[in-house]
Structure 1
Amino acid sequence: MELIPAVSVVIPLYNKGPYIARAIQSVLSQTIQDFEIIIVDGQSTDDGPRIVKSFQDKRIIFINQIGKGVSSARNEGIEHSKSDFIAFLDADDEWMPDHLETLLRLRYAYPEAGAYTTAYLVKYPNLRTKMPNFFMIPEKPWEGLIPSYFKSAAFGASPVWTSAVGIPKSILKEMRGFSMEAWWGEDTDLWGRIALKYPISFSWEGLVIYHTEATNRLCNRIEPVDENIFCHTARLAIETGAVSPEIRDDLSEYIAKKIIETAWFNIQANRRELAKKNLKKCITKKMVFKKYWTMIWANMPFKMYYLWRRLNYLNPYRI
């Protein structure tokens, strides 16, 4: 009889050789040892696969995949998982030892939730480590169901982060996993789709370290984006009456935040006309200043924007 682990840990891998051992070791060091680790490699050209295979632990499963992107890798990991509970970890991030213990405690305490997440620390390129500014989440040592996911995500740091979240397999199947229609925002799209139907559970314990100083990070890719994928999902939900009146205003402000973020992406990609097109769709009551501040930079010559960034006077990508 095949033993079913309490958690399946899915790690997508692509040219993260300098970091993958740290990620794996952070899983192997968990206080809960009933897990499997599924690593899906998208045709890495560095020594990442060799490093993975150097670990002599039968709980580690290595899968070769023709490079189809991180969403495809995560979805394949889900398909190969034995557990009914999936935790995600990016190959350049790491967990504190009680992370899985915390996720499982949340799951048993709040079975009605659609996703379970912990707080996380952000390590910046200057090696400074800081907890992001969460909003509308009760102070430590509270844990429970987030009062309003969309209000928290609109006005503060995202309460759900890819390397911090655990999701029941049944929910992932219901949502059809990560969307492969976008290279950016596909993770927050999934959290948003879940939050439209289910509460989200959060704990300050079981911390994760999100390494923004790592190289070859997908979110550092500079490329224009027509629209954040969740904006389309959310508008459709509103139009079809699938959004309860209690969260409609919070959801609208969250859409505005995502539009503004997308405009900043396009400013950085020197696509100012596309950024201005994004901002014309931005309807907000509480982010008016952010909207027009972004519009000012969308109308500035790119050289001025670049200089502003270099002088560290502008940091649009706040977590």
Structure 2
Amino acid sequence: MPKISIIIPTQRRPLGLATAMASVVAQQGVDVADLELVVVDNDAKPSAQAAVEALTAPFPVVYVHEPVAGVANARNAAMAVANGEFIAFLDDDEEAPPHWLATLLAVQAEFQADAVFGPVRARAPDTVRLHRPYLEAFFSRPGPAEAGLMDDYFGCGDSLVRRAALPDPVKPFSALRNFIGGEDDMLFGQMKAAGARFAWAPQAWVWEDPVPDRLSLRYAIPRAFAYGQGPSSAAAVRADRLGVARWMAIGLVQAALFGLVAAVKWVIQAPDRAWALDRAARGLGKTLWWGPFKIGFYGRTT
């Protein structure tokens, strides 16, 4: 049985998927006998099947077709067939350097972590000029310069999880987040509440190449609003009314303060105006977090 299953969810991103899969095949410092790659295709039609089955790799490559829309559905479908003791997650717009997996495993062993996260370095094409620094930062994940245990957690992209630490080793992702995302945040929040150990691996970084239609404020600011909803909605799931009230109050202050700053910066066309708008949107999301204000970023397969 393989020791590590690498999972790549995908949906109609053939070029990104090809890059991600090639970077997995090029991994070094890991015994190929310990590996398997699982690609889950969350498209109504099995559009990625031919590319996955044509991949030449020194370890098993498993194709999974999950036609039912939803990011949690896709991840759970891959988990259902993955055999690894450890699960490494890579997105279909990411490219992992050859040392990536070996570094995640080394940090996990050093700190006996239940989940390990690494940095994400977004790169926008040269054609993107307006708000380029903000957009690259928006899709990036920075962190401490040194490896070590951490109190917080990040999303699945560029992570390694010990399967035995999951609340459900086969179906750990909540279908409640199928269309709005954050299914990974909910999972890691549950693990944290159960006492899981999280670690940071600064050398296990990956490149991220966002699809062109996401490299604009039209996408990033609504997504920032949705990210802001996370803490309030997570507190609501735990029936933590005081927590919901606290996050909503924090959000009101942030929305008012950074909204004013953003308005001023927009009037004077300050180069960093997008950053203030982002903070205001996240604050507003903390306040307006329930049903009618949820934004669906996932769940389309046609």
The alignment's TM-score, normalised by the length of structure 2, stands at 0.69
The aligned counterpart of 1:50 is: 50
**SS of the residue 1:97 aligns to:** coil
Instruction: Structure 2: state its 5+ residue gaps.
Output: 283-302
Q: Which residue among 25, 31, 34 is the counterpart of 2:22?
A: 25
Offset at residue 66 of structure 1 (A)? 1.5
Shift in alpha-carbon separation, 1:65–1:45, aligned structure 2, 3 A: closer
1:145 aligns with 2:145: no
Return the alpha-carbon distance in structure 2 between the equivalents of residues 73 and 205 of structure 1: 28
**SS of the residue 1:209 aligns to:** strand
Any conservation in 2 of the 1:15–1:48 contact (CA below 8 Å)?
yes
**SS of the residue 1:87 aligns to:** strand
Return the alpha-carbon distance in structure 2 between the equivalents of residues 226 and 164 of structure 1: 18
Offset at residue 189 of structure 1 (A)? 2.3
Count matched residues.
259
Shift in alpha-carbon separation, 1:306–1:102, aligned structure 2, 3 A: same
What code does the residue aligned with 1:169 have?
R
Return the alpha-carbon distance in structure 1 between the equivalents of residues 64 and 46 of structure 2: 16
What code does the residue aligned with 1:184 have?
G
Offset at residue 105 of structure 1 (A)? 1.0
Any conservation in 1 of the 2:121–2:141 contact (CA below 8 Å)?
no
1:314 aligns with 2:274: yes
The aligned counterpart of 1:7 is: 4
Offset at residue 177 of structure 1 (A)? 1.4
Shift in alpha-carbon separation, 1:77–1:145, aligned structure 2, 3 A: same
Offset at residue 53 of structure 1 (A)? 2.2
The aligned counterpart of 1:76 is: 77
Q: Which residue among 243, 248, 256 is the counterpart of 1:292?
A: 256
1:195 aligns with 2:192: yes
Any conservation in 2 of the 1:122–1:209 contact (CA below 8 Å)?
yes
Shift in alpha-carbon separation, 1:220–1:61, aligned structure 2, 3 A: farther
Return the alpha-carbon distance in structure 1 between the equivalents of residues 12 and 107 of structure 2: 33
The aligned counterpart of 1:167 is: 161
Shift in alpha-carbon separation, 1:115–1:291, aligned structure 2, 3 A: same
Query: Where in structure 2 are the equivalents of 1:108-123 lying within 5 Å?
Result: 108-111=109-112, 113-123=113-123
Any conservation in 2 of the 1:40–1:74 contact (CA below 8 Å)?
yes
Shift in alpha-carbon separation, 1:15–1:37, aligned structure 2, 3 A: same
The aligned counterpart of 2:60 is: 59
Return the alpha-carbon distance in structure 2 between the equivalents of residues 213 and 307 of structure 1: 30
Superposition RMSD on alpha carbons, in Å?
4.2
Shift in alpha-carbon separation, 1:99–1:295, aligned structure 2, 3 A: same
What code does the residue aligned with 1:52 have?
V
Return the alpha-carbon distance in structure 1 between the equivalents of residues 61 and 270 of structure 2: 42
What code does the residue aligned with 1:123 have?
R
Instruction: Structure 1: state its 5+ residue gaps.
Output: 150-158, 242-250, 257-280
Shift in alpha-carbon separation, 1:310–1:51, aligned structure 2, 3 A: farther
Q: Which residue among 253, 259, 283 is the counterpart of 2:250?
A: 283
Q: Which residue among 181, 184, 193 is the counterpart of 1:184?
A: 181
1:212 aligns with 2:210: yes
Offset at residue 60 of structure 1 (A)? 0.9
Shift in alpha-carbon separation, 1:220–1:132, aligned structure 2, 3 A: closer
Return the alpha-carbon distance in structure 1 between the equivalents of residues 160 and 212 of structure 2: 23
Offset at residue 104 of structure 1 (A)? 1.1
Offset at residue 215 of structure 1 (A)? 4.9
Residue by residue over 1:121-143, the C-alpha shift from the partner in whole angstroms, topping out at 9 and shown as x without a partner, is 122353876695746x3x3xx21
Residue by residue over 1:237-295, the C-alpha shift from the partner in whole angstroms, topping out at 9 and shown as x without a partner, is 58499xxxxxxxxx999x84xxxxxxxxxxxxxxxxxxxxxxxx2337xx94x332355
The alignment's TM-score, normalised by the length of structure 1, stands at 0.66
Return the alpha-carbon distance in structure 2 between the equivalents of residues 132 and 227 of structure 1: 17
Any conservation in 2 of the 1:15–1:45 contact (CA below 8 Å)?
no
| Residues 50-59 or 6-15, more deviating | 50-59
Residue by residue over 1:129-186, the C-alpha shift from the partner in whole angstroms, topping out at 9 and shown as x without a partner, is 6695746x3x3xx21102x32xxxxxxxxx6242211111122344851222122222
Residue by residue over 1:32-87, the C-alpha shift from the partner in whole angstroms, topping out at 9 and shown as x without a partner, is 23311111112266953322222133511111122321211111111111111101
Query: Where in structure 2 are the equivalents of 1:27-42 lying within 5 Å?
Result: 27-31=24-28, 32=30, 33=32, 34-42=34-42
The aligned counterpart of 1:267 is: none
